[in-house]
């Protein structure tokens, strides 16, 4: 098992705060030089403080192109119905840290966090009800494979499974005592979880059983995203990026060009993906991760999560209530 001091240190890092600077963005290559005429098009970001400047936003999820939610420290939940133009605080009923939020459909969603916190909504995130799972371990992440099947992961290899849209949860054996920090499902059967000491585990039966995979690293792995049952990317400590095209049977290390913590990854397709992390890091690939371009946004705030909406709009959240928005990662807006 992971010593509690190690997990406490990890959590403190996740919740560490820095100041926000607003700036327009342009592209540069992974070596830090300005992009040439052959580089990807400059990327611009709309940057705002989303009604939660005293809180760090740790996770964001858009139900559709306009309706989205973000969660974070102090039990904060904020909701937008206009693609992030305005945000409204929702009553969460808790001051526990909320580490992640995910929706099973347009109405049913779950937020998870510290002290075994699981909150559930049935009205698109307007109201939330706390669930008692009989466990006070930190829950790091949650994802749904379909409207019924979902998995939440946490400390000491904890895996919680629901088959009724989050109404109830059952504990499953993960086969590891390492912390599980990120999870991604592409359907009701196929999912991958990642965590400390380079842990990667895979399920093909909806989370009932799990198989360990060889990552080739001991770095802490923080997030994972698959676009189908074969193609996925993992990010983590010290700029780690791993990629697979065979469902995780093999993982290939990719050069990120940074040593910052990388907290989140989202994939648009087999070629295009985005990663965010410490000190305002935003990376983009357009070749399946063969190369990653660092996008200079002038932000020194830690960015915690990135989400690609139905409208091909990137939503990014981070410390000090930061919210960034970019249409397809290309068009510039200023708000």
pLDDT digits (tens, 9 = 90+) for 39-86: 333 345 666 666 566 799 999 999 999 999 999 999 999 999 999 989
Phi, psi of 156 (to 5 degrees): 55, 35
- Residue 214: closest CA among 261, 171, 245, 249: 249
| pTM of the shown model | 0.86
Beta bridge partners of 154: 139
In this prediction, residue 331 has a pLDDT band, given cuts at 50, 70 and 90, of: very low
For position 163, what pLDDT does the model report? 97
Task: Set out the domains of the chain in order of their start, with CATH numbers.
Answer: 4-327 (2.130.10.10)
Examine the pLDDT at 89 and tell me if it is beyond 90.
yes
Given this model, what pLDDT does residue 157 score? 98
The burial of 17, by beta-carbon neighbours within 10 Å (0-12 exposed, 13-18 middle, 19 or more buried), is given as middle
264 within 8 A of 285, measured Cβ to Cβ = no
d(CA 312, CA 66): 12
Backbone phi and psi for residue 14, each to the nearest 5 degrees, phi listed first: -60, -35
- Nearest CA among 48, 26, 46 for reference residue 35: 26
């Amino acid at each position: 098992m992971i010593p509690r001091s190690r997990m406490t240190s990890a959590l403190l890092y996740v919740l560490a705060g820095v100041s926000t600077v607003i700036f327009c963005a342009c592209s540069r290559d992974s070596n830090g030089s300005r992009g040439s005429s052959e580089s990807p098009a400059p990327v611009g970001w709309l940057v705002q403080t989303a009604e939660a400047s005293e809180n760090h936003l740790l996770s964001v999820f858009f139900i559709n192109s306009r309706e989205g939610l973000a969660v974070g420290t102090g039990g904060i939940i904020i909701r937008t119905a206009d693609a992030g133009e305005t945000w409204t605080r929702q009553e969460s009923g808790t001051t526990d840290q909320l580490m992640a939020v995910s929706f099973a459909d347009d109405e049913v969603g779950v937020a998870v966090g510290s002290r075994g916190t699981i909150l559930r909504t049935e009205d698109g995130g307007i109201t939330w009800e706390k669930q008692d799972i009989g466990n006070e371990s930190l829950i790091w992440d949650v994802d749904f494979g379909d409207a019924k099947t979902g998995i939440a992961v946490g400390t000491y290899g904890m895996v919680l499974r629901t088959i009724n849209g989050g109404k109830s949860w059952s504990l499953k054996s993960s086969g590891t005592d390492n912390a599980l920090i990120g999870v991604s499902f592409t359907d009701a059967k196929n999912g991958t979880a990642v965590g400390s000491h380079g842990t990667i585990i895979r399920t093909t039966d909806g989370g009932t059983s799990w198989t360990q995979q060889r990552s080739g690293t001991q770095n802490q792995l923080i997030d994972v995203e698959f676009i189908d049952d074969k193609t996925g990317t993992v990010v983590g400590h010290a700029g780690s990026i791993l990629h697979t095209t065979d469902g995780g049977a093999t993982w290939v290390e990719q050069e990120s060009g940074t040593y910052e913590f990388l907290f989140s990854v989202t994939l648009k397709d087999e070629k295009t993906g985005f990663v965010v992390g410490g000190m305002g890091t935003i990376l983009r690939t357009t070749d399946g991760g063969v190369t990653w371009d660092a996008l200079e946004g002038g932000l020194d705030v830690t960015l915690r999560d990135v989400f690609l909406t139905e409208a091909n709009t990137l939503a990014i959240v981070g410390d000090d209530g930061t919210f960034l928005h970019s249409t397809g990662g290309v068009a510039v807006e200023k708000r």
